[in-house]
Structure 1
Amino acid sequence: MSEPIAIDDPDDPRLCAYRAVRERDLVGRQGRFIVEGEVTLRLLFSPGARFAAESVLLAPERWPGFSDLLRGDGPPVYLAGKDVMSAVAGFPIHRGVLAVGLRGAEPVPEALVPPAPAPALVVGMVGLTNHDNVGGLFRNAAAFGADAVWLDAETCDPLYRKAIRVSAGAALTVPFARAASGAALLDLAQRHDLTPLALTPGGHETLDRLAPPSRALLLLGTEGPGLPEALMARARRLRIAMAPGFDSLNVATAGAIALHHLSGARLQS
C-alpha cells in the first residue's frame, strides 16, 4: 500500500469490518478486533507486534501524522470524513483513528512462561468480566514487567475495543493465553514451578511482608465474590494492609500494588 484510498460512502463494502462497532464487539468479528486511537494504532504497528492489521481507517486530517508509519507495504489505509466514519461505526468517532486487527492463532499458556529456573511473573485472571478492570490489569502487567497474563474461560476478552483502550494498548503487547478454569491455571503453575499467590482481604499474611518468589503466579478474582475458596486453598493467601474498617480496593488497583511489590527487584536490575 503506497497511498491511502479516499471513501465518501458509508455503505462502501471495503468498510464492512468497521460497521456497527459496539454491537459487533459483543458478538465477535470472526477473528478480528477493533483498535481505536493513536497510541493503540502505533502499538499495533510496533516492531515485533503480536497482531497484524487488516486495514486502517483514518479521518483525512489524521493521515499526515501517520504517513511515516503506514506508507510502504502493508494493509490498505482508507480515508473518510468523521461523519462517514461515525455513520459506519454507529457512534461519533472523535479521534478519527480506527483499525481492524487480526487475532491469528491463540498461543498455549505454557509457551508464554520462561523455563525454570529463570525468574517469571505471570498474572492469572479468574472470572473477571469487567472490561475496564481487565484493561487496567493489562496496563499494570506491562508497567511492572509481567511476562504474561493467563485467563480462565470466564474472563472477558482483552481484545474487546474498550479493554484495549483502557490498557493503553498493553493488551496488544503483553502475551496472554487462556486455560479452561482457575483450577487449570493452578495446575499450570505447579507444572512450571510458579508459586501461586492469591490476593484476598482475608489473607493470612500481608503483601508487604512477603519476600517475592522468583517465579510467581498472581491470582486475581472478580470484585465482590473474589477468588473461589477451592483456588485459594491451593495458593498462598495475601492481603494488602489498609486502614482499619476498610478492606476494599478495585481489583486493578490491588493488582498494581501487588505487581509493584513482586517485580521490584526485577525492575531495579
Structure 2
Amino acid sequence: MDLIRIDDPEDPRIAGYRNIRERDLVGRQGLFISEGKVVLDVLLSAEAFQPRSLLILENRVAGLAETLAHVPDDVPVYVAAGPVLDAIAGFHMHRGILALGQRRAPLTAAELLASLPDRALVLVLSGISNHDNVGSIFRNAAAFGADAVFLDSECCDPLYRKSIRVSVGGVLKVPFARFDRDEEFLLALKEHGFRGLALSPHGAHDIRTLKRPDRAALFLGTEGEGLPPALLAAMDTIRIPIAAGFDSLNVAAASAIALHRLSEAVTSA
C-alpha cells in the first residue's frame, strides 16, 4: 500500500475532509466522516459501508500497520503533518485518524423489516434529534444485539460525524432504515408479527415483569415530550421504575436498561 503525502490543505484530493464542521451542517451527498481507530476498524469490516479514502496524521501511521493492512488496494490513504491536517479539518484533530465513507445501498424500512429473523428485537426512534442520544442508542443497540433500528423523519442523521463517534461505530454495525408515516409503519410492524412496546415514564407495565415476545419493537421518544400520544395509544406501554420524586431517565440510558432486559445476546464473558 502506497501512502500519499499531502502538504497543501487545498489539495483537491482531500476536498471531502476540508472544513469538517461546516460540511457537517450542509451534508456530504451520501458520504460521511468517521474518526478514530476503533471506528475505522468497524468501517473496514462493515458489510453495508465502504471507505472511500483515509486521511491520517503522519505520527499515527506506524501504530496503524495492522489496521492499514485491511484497507482495500483501491482506497487511497493520505498522510499529513499535524498543522496541515488541522488546516484541512478547520480545527485541531487530536485523534489524527479520519476516513471518508459511503453507505453501499441503503435499505428501505420495508426491505429491512422483510430481512429480519423470526425472533427479532428492533428499536424505533421517534423525533430524537440529539446526535449524542442517537449515537448512544446505536452503541447500546450494538452492545445488546438489537437486529435493527428504525428512525422517523424527525430524527437526526445517524451518519452525522458526532453520532458515529459517540456510537463507537455502532451506527456502522446495526442495520437501520428511515420511515415517513407512523401509521403506515405501525401497520407494517403488525403485518410482520412485531409487538410494539412504547417506553414511557408512565407506562402501564413494569418492564421487569414483561415477557419478551418473539418479535419486539421497542419505541423510544424524544427528551421531554416523549412519544406522541397516538403512538402510546396504539401499543403496550412499559416503564422503568425509578426513585420516587424524580421525573425520568435520559433516553439513551433508558434504552440501555430496556435493551438489557429484552436482549438475548448478553453473555457472562
Distance 1:168-1:268 versus aligned 2 partners, 3 A rule:
closer
Distance 1:144-1:29 versus aligned 2 partners, 3 A rule:
same
Contact 1:31 1:104 in 2 (8 A): no
Give the secondary structure class of the aligned counterpart of 1:33.
strand
Normalised to the residue count of structure 1, the TM-score between the two structures is: 0.94
Aligned residues: 266
> Which residue is 2:50 aligned to?
52
> Which residue is 2:165 aligned to?
165
CA distance in 1, matches of 2:113, 2:208: 25
Q: CA RMSD in A?
A: 1.7
1:208 equivalenced with 2:171 (yes/no): no
Shift of 1:116: 8.0
Give the secondary structure class of the aligned counterpart of 1:106.
coil
Contact 1:128 1:134 in 2 (8 A): yes
CA distance in 2, matches of 1:116, 1:174: 12
CA distance in 2, matches of 1:91, 1:57: 15
CA distance in 2, matches of 1:193, 1:251: 26
Distance 1:49-1:62 versus aligned 2 partners, 3 A rule:
farther
CA distance in 2, matches of 1:80, 1:182: 47
Give the secondary structure class of the aligned counterpart of 1:45.
helix
| Unaligned ranges ≥5, structure 1 | none
CA distance in 2, matches of 1:117, 1:55: 34
Alignment of 1:1-269 (within 5 A): 2-46=1-45, 48-71=46-69, 73-113=73-113, 118-263=118-263, 265-267=264-266
Larger CA deviation: 200-209 vs 125-134: 200-209
Identical amino acids, percent of aligned pairs: 53
CA distance in 2, matches of 1:104, 1:73: 18
Shift of 1:268: 5.6
Larger CA deviation: 72-81 vs 120-129: 72-81
| Unaligned ranges ≥5, structure 2 | none
Contact 1:198 1:219 in 2 (8 A): yes
